[in-house]
Amino acid sequence: MKKDDVCEVVCVHEDIVRKVKQRVLGQEKILKLAGIFKALGEPTRLKILHCLKEEEMCVCDISEVLEMSQSAISHQLRVLRDLRIVKYRKEGKNVFYSLDDEHIFKILDEGLNHISHH
């Protein structure tokens, strides 16, 4: 999109626009935040996280619970790991995953609240 015709519309409430424009989050923060939500916004990953909310689990257990291939689970765990949404612990051949952070719990719960009250 050309920089000039970015907004072709002329109806602008100047005071509001000025105020809100000052409070816009930086691109970096937006991307980071969007990254977290995007991770939670995929059914498989959400299921994984909902499992880990209950128990620390190894890849195979998750695979079994969700009735999906080990590979698919492992790929998604990689995404969650990279975003530091889950942490892991090696024990012999197993790798046990768990939620990284209290905020993830809260976000999940708040989401559940939202869909209940509706």
Partner DNA sequence: AGAACATATGAACACATATTCATATAATAC
Partner DNA sequence: GTATTATATGAATATGTGTTCATATGTTCT
What part of residues 30-89 is at the interface with a copy of itself (CB under 8 A)?
Answer: 30-43, 46-47, 50-51, 54-55, 57-61, 63-70, 84
Residues whose CB is less than 8 angstroms from the CB of residue 80 and which lie 6 or more positions away in sequence, other chains included: 39, 45, 48, 49, 86, 97
CB neighbours of residue 35 within 10 Å: 13
Task: Give dist(CA 88, CA 59) in Å, integer.
Answer: 10
Q: How many residues bind DNA (CB under 7 A)?
A: 29
By CB under 7 A, residue 93 contacts DNA: yes
Binding site for a copy of itself (CB under 8 A): 1, 6-13, 16-17, 19-21, 23-25, 29-43, 46-47, 50-51, 54-55, 57-61, 63-70, 84, 93-94, 101, 103-104, 106-107, 110-115, 117-118
